[in-house]
Amino acid sequence: MRIYGLTGGTGSGKSEAARRFAELGFPVIDADAVGHDVIAPGGAAERAVIEAFGPDIVTAGAIDRAKLGAIVFRDDAARKRLNAIVHPAIGMAIAMRCAALAEKGHGAVVVDAALIAENGRKEDYLSGLILVMSPVELRIQRLIEHREIDLAEARRRIASQTAPETKLALADWVIDNSGTKEELYRQVDAIAREMNG
């Protein structure tokens, strides 16, 4: 099975690109959704996250992602601690989903994950890396409009992630998402044709 990583900073339009890949017939695994699953009640990383960050992050019997996010987006060490706990569980869950898709006869999958290639190298399992880029001010605008967060929080979240420019050398394809949705889709369509070729 060919596994294509789709990455980009928060507010870049990566999720919109993922939706387009799905419309074109590619199975898409959303690493954020997998991350939610692994910290959900009974999830593979739930207990370890609560032990690391304390019972105050639990509301109504489940990890309150807003409370957890408020901690990790403001504290680099806390974010690294969370990533060290959840990334192995997310990686295992994604590998299992890829194996299940391969058993069903799928030849390729797109893994939508902001944190792919964070360490300055492309993961060995990837057949290709797609990077979605947008100007920082446009990303901030999107975060404020679509995620209902304020300017300071939008800037904090963007600053907490690796700058997309550091992934440029690793990317097999780069999508410029500074224009319209139609322009984004045209770029995704062209990449999909190459991926199927």
- In order of 27, 40, 88, 140, the CA distances from 100 in angstroms are 11, 22, 18, 37
- The structural domains of the chain, with segments of one domain joined by +, span 1-27+106-197, 33-105
Interval 17-63: pLDDT, tens: 999 999 999 999 999 999 999 999 999 999 999 999 999 999 999 99
CATH of 1-27+106-197, one of 3.40.50.150, 2.40.320.10, 3.40.50.300, 3.60.20.10: 3.40.50.300
Eight-class DSSP state of 178? S
Say what percent of the chain tops pLDDT 90: 79
Considering the entire predicted model, what is its pTM?
Answer: 0.87
Say what percent of the chain tops pLDDT 70: 99
CATH architecture of 33-105: 3-Layer(aba) Sandwich (3.40)
**Per-chain mean pLDDT for the chain:** 93
**pLDDT for the residue numbered 176:** 97
Q: Is the pLDDT of residue 120 over 80?
A: no
**pLDDT for the residue numbered 159:** 86
Strand pairing category for 58-59 and 28-30: unpaired
Question: Distance between CA 127 and CA 111 in Å, rounded?
Answer: 11
Q: Is the pLDDT of residue 156 over 90?
A: no
